[in-house]
Amino acid sequence: MKILVAPLDWGLGHATRCVPIVREFLRAGAEVELAVVKANANFFREVFPDLRQRLAPSYNIVYPKHGYNMALWLLKNSMHLNSVMRYEHHFAEEMVERHGYDVLLSDNRFAFYSKNAFNIYMTHQRRIAFPRVFGAFERVGVMWHSIVMRKFDEVWVPDTEFYPGYAGSLSHTGATPGNKPLRYVGVLSRFLENALPVTREEEYKPIPKNIDLEKDVDLMSMSEFMARTASVEWNVADVLPNLGFARYKVVAVVSGVEPARTQFELQLREALAKIPGHHMMILGKPSAENRTWTEGNIEFHTHLATDAFADAIRRADYVVSRGGYSTVMDMAVLGAKCIFVPTPGQFEQIVLAHDLSKAGYAVEIPAEKLSAETLTNAFDSCMKMPKVEKQNLLRDAVNDVVRKFKER
């Protein structure tokens, strides 16, 4: 069985959460290749140096300078996005015809499917959250996303199968693929390969049948889920191997698309320079030359490989990052004390950061309020992210796909 995995290029998170998927298909004996763009090609080359890469069309997303203009920006650029989707679909059909792929797996690429392959679409945003001022458009977005989903054979959701999971109502309500299968494949993180097994007395409870998720679920009701994980104990001696890294007061992870990425980097540089202690900044530039240097009390890395990244996070007193869902999953696996600074205009990140902050497992700082003072004030209220329990949802999903082709 031959599979082509294609993550969306809106930031590096879609690429990182595809890592465990690729590993599982390789474990199952599939031949895996990657559809990449320039921004994530080096990352995949580091993690999977032996896998063939195909150059995929890029969405070329550049966020507006001011986040509150995002809705207008999307409207203005809708024709561009539609043209990319048309070309993306043509590219998918051509890849199947020329290279004989049996399966196409799209991580949020809306048109990456082929009539001659088995198509899997992955998203954690069944419900694409809108700011309240644009709330009237949310149902339109849900309807549009449902139409997209129905073009695929299966829809995978990277979260736990019982509400509220780690993404709350974003992953458990909203768009459905009609009569096509929708399945939850668990928390996906590139750091799960060596994650320690965790047991917990209380398991997740199924959604009560009398609850209508579309109407009755509060967007901010992730607290119940987080409270269930409070009994999970972290053994620092187990998760903090002696691999030679210094101890860091703050590890700041810069990510996202421009110009928001650079704005975040500059804010962090200014703030961390004023906070006593030794800090690290990971600039999230896998396509740039791999460089390390120090300015004052800050150690800079253009990029860190997976193992080095994990070691740095485990040696940090606090981690400051954007609040994207892939980052949330990674930090949950690594047990970090997180301060999230959502990207302006990305309401999904605002919702996730608010949920985690309300539950007491992270601190939220709005981008416009990020400073040395707000960071220092956040330290006292930080707790470790709740640990991810051992799961086989992804393995079961992959095995089912492989079985379908063996039975042909």
At 184, which helix (H) or strand (E)?
Answer: strand 182-184
Mean pLDDT estimate for the chain: 82
**What's the pLDDT score for residue 289?**
79
Does position 198 have pLDDT exceeding 50, yes or no?
no
Band of pLDDT at residue 62, cut at 50, 70 and 90: low
- Mean pLDDT over 231-248 rounds to 47
pLDDT-above-70 percentage for the chain: 81
Band of pLDDT at residue 287, cut at 50, 70 and 90: confident
Tens digit of each residue's pLDDT (9 = 90 or more) over 17-55: 999 999 999 999 999 999 999 888 988 998 999 999 999
- Mean pLDDT over 312-316 rounds to 94
Does position 155 have pLDDT exceeding 90, yes or no?
yes
Answer whether 2-215+390-406 and 236-379 agree in fold. Answer: yes
Structure tokens at 210: 């009398």
**What's the pLDDT score for residue 141?**
82
- Domain borders along the chain are 2-215+390-406, 236-379
At 103, which helix (H) or strand (E)?
Answer: strand 103-107
Query: Residue 318 phi/psi, 5° resolution?
Result: -140, 150
**What's the pLDDT score for residue 193?**
67
Would you say 166 and 328 are in contact if contact means Cβ atoms under 8 Å apart? yes
Does position 251 have pLDDT exceeding 90, yes or no?
yes
Q: How far apart are CA 91 and CA 80, in angstroms?
A: 16
| First vs last C-alpha separation in the chain | 11
- Mean pLDDT over 258-277 rounds to 93
Band of pLDDT at residue 205, cut at 50, 70 and 90: very low
Question: Among 393, 404, 397, which Cα is nearest to 161's?
Answer: 393
Tens digit of each residue's pLDDT (9 = 90 or more) over 85-126: 999 999 999 999 999 999 999 999 999 999 999 999 999 999
Bridge partners of residue 384, in order along the sequence: 337
**What's the pLDDT score for residue 31?**
97
Band of pLDDT at residue 243, cut at 50, 70 and 90: very low
Does position 365 have pLDDT exceeding 80, yes or no?
yes
**What's the pLDDT score for residue 39?**
83
Question: How many other C-beta atoms are found inside a 10 Å radius of the C-beta of residue 111?
Answer: 18
Q: Where are the beta strands (DSSP E) in 206-337?
A: 248-253, 279-282, 292-295, 298-301, 316-321
pLDDT-above-90 percentage for the chain: 53
Residue 341 falls in which region: left (phi positive, over 0), alpha (psi -120 to 50) or beta: beta
**What's the pLDDT score for residue 361?**
81
Tens digit of each residue's pLDDT (9 = 90 or more) over 337-350: 999 999 887 888 88
Bridge partners of residue 155, in order along the sequence: 121, 182
Indicate the CATH number of 2-215+390-406 among 3.30.43, 2.60.120, 3.10.20, 3.40.50. 3.40.50
Least confident of 23-32, 54-63, 353-362: 54-63
Q: Which CATH superfamily is domain 236-379 in?
A: Glycogen Phosphorylase B; (3.40.50.2000)
Q: How far apart are CA 358 and CA 2, in angstroms?
A: 44
**What's the pLDDT score for residue 117?**
96
**What's the pLDDT score for residue 237?**
37
**What's the pLDDT score for residue 308?**
92
List CB contacts of 303: < 8 A, sequence separation 6 or more.
Answer: 42, 43, 282, 283, 284, 285, 286, 288, 290
**What's the pLDDT score for residue 408?**
66
Does position 278 have pLDDT exceeding 50, yes or no?
yes
Question: Among 18, 63, 60, which Cα is nearest to 39's?
Answer: 60
Separation of CA 160 from chain center: 14
Q: Give the three-state DSSP class for 53.
A: strand
Does position 216 have pLDDT exceeding 50, yes or no?
no
Question: Among 354, 304, 350, which Cα is nearest to 330's?
Answer: 304
